[in-house]
Amino acid sequence: MKHDAGRVVPSLALALLAIGAPALGQGTPWQLVWSDEFDGTTLNRDIWQPQFGTGTIYGLPSGWGNNERQYYTDRPENIVVSNGSLKIIARAEFYAGSQYTSARIRTPGTLEILYGRIEARITLPSGPGIWPAFWMLPTTSPYGGWAASGEIDIMESVNDADRIYGTIHFGGAFPANTSNGGSFAPGIDFSAAPHIYAVEWEPDQIRWYVDGQLIHSAASSVWFSANENGNDRAPFDVPFHLLLNVAVGGNFPGPPSGSTGFPMTMTVDYVRIFERQQLPFTSSSAAIPGQIEAENYDLGGAGFAYLDSDASNNGGVYRPSESVDLEACSEGGFNLGWIRQREWVEYAADVAVSGVYRVLTRVAAQSGGGTFRLEFGGVNRSGTIAAPVTGGWQQWTTVEKTATLLAGSTTMRFVNESGAGGQFNVNWFRFELIAEAGDVNADTRVNAEDLYALEQGTGQYEDVDLDGESGTADDFAALKQRIRTGEVDPG
């Protein structure tokens, strides 16, 4: 069994397992961050919590709000882990006043997900009145009671296991709720062999797959929460937890019949969670000093490599499957277009030398203009940079700032700081080394003359150790160490 007892939030790029995974879905790489392979002999209760009864102890009407007929237990008659799989077994037996027993397990507080690919390999039970499901609920319900805070059904099937349903529930609290979903009926019996059921959940889109085949998708323009009208991504923008269960009867499948061959078993070979693996768009990270083309932001998708305010690419001429607005540029190539409030994009970069850099950015704005910053490794290194009005979306000008950068591999994030009315375009970012760390007098060499300039207080760049404080004892020590070790010309 592979697991971590803490919570998993793929949107924060937690690499809980150093396990590579093949490219899935739309071709953007995914990385496995958690899995339960059920290769032990008992259910891992550090992760999975069985639920009990008919729903009343959880504040639901008897029958789990769906007129279901089973009593959920955690007995070995209903939950078994053996031979590399989890079995959830529904039985026809009188128990605690119910005619049937089964199991329902979930992960609130132990395994919570916000965005990612969630999949399981499952062999379904089949028979009248049988309702297996692999699904997700929010743990805290921040937008109100079901379904104002949402529900994601990764896989449901009823009765003869010949059709798979993928659905989201949202809107207002019951009975003012609504849903969006699709079904897949390729003419096969899903109880005859295991199949892989998955969703790819991103800020502006949820996609459903069966054995890698896309069966349905829903965009954020479709869903909403009645209690959060100002948030286009609600309710599917908060952590959800997993559930696995087999219900008997209920509003969806109807009741079991004499032909329902109990016991009915849902066999789960594994549950796996993947996150977007953020990679450079080109074959390698952008080099600094050098120029970064704005349209070549990282692979990884929405919420990982970028955040765009709408779900469509309004330019539509470059990387059209992603929602970052790109358009053909009058100066050649493409540019980021119509950048709006709170939007950002990221670029993998390699900084060759620690030091002070001139940062040049090519911008254009028909009206409004705006401001932005450049973060490196999560730190604002540029301060606020203004993008002025230029009189046209393709009337370009270059704005300049300085930034102190540290050598090494990093991620540069361009962040729009503008208010609601700010809007502008970006074509490229260029970085020119002004002074290497320790080049106090900016003569392109680091030697004893820099130490003299530091002692006299006549240097231009006296923050040798790049800690944000100039001319301190630490700066003297750092420069002396470099000279003493022969790292630089002693002059």
pLDDT tens track, the chain, 491 positions: 333 333 444 433 332 322 233 333 344 568 899 999 999 999 999 999 999 999 999 999 999 999 999 999 999 999 999 999 999 999 999 999 999 999 999 999 999 999 999 999 999 999 999 999 999 999 999 999 999 999 999 999 999 999 999 999 999 999 999 999 999 999 999 999 999 999 999 888 899 999 999 999 999 889 999 998 878 889 999 999 999 999 999 999 999 999 999 999 999 999 999 988 888 998 789 999 999 999 999 988 887 899 887 767 788 789 887 889 999 999 999 999 999 888 999 999 999 988 889 999 999 999 989 999 999 999 999 999 999 999 999 999 999 999 989 889 999 999 999 988 889 999 999 999 988 877 777 777 777 777 767 777 777 766 766 777 777 777 677 777 776 665 544 44
Which H/E stretch holds residue 449? helix 448-456
| Amino acid identity, position 479 | L
Which candidate in 119, 151, 202, 327 is catalytic?
A: 151
Active site residue 93: no
| pLDDT the model gives residue 87 | 98
DSSP count for the chain of H helices, then E strands? 2, 30
Best CA proximity match to 438, nearest among 455, 415, 405, 461: 461
pLDDT of residue 21: 33
From 68, 112, 119, 156, the catalytic residue:
156
pLDDT at site 13: 32
Question: What pLDDT is recorded for position 249?
Answer: 96
What pLDDT, on the 0 to 100 scale, is given for residue 455?
77
DSSP state at residue 111: S
Reported pTM: 0.68
pLDDT at 17: 29
The reported pLDDT for the residue numbered 288 is 98
Q: What separation, in Å, do the N-terminal and C-terminal C-alpha atoms of the chain show?
A: 61
pLDDT at residue 483, rounded to an integer = 67
**Residue 163 Cα distances to 156, 166, 184, 203, angstroms:** 9, 10, 5, 28
Q: What is the C-alpha separation between 197 and 208, in angstroms, rounded? A: 8
Cα 440 to Cα 460: distance, rounded to the nearest angstrom:
6
Q: 293 an active-site residue?
A: no
**Length reported for the chain:** 491
Cα dihedral 117, 122, 128, 129, rounded to 10, equals: -50
The Cα-based distances of 180 to 162, 168, 171, 214, 392 in angstroms read 20, 5, 11, 15, 41
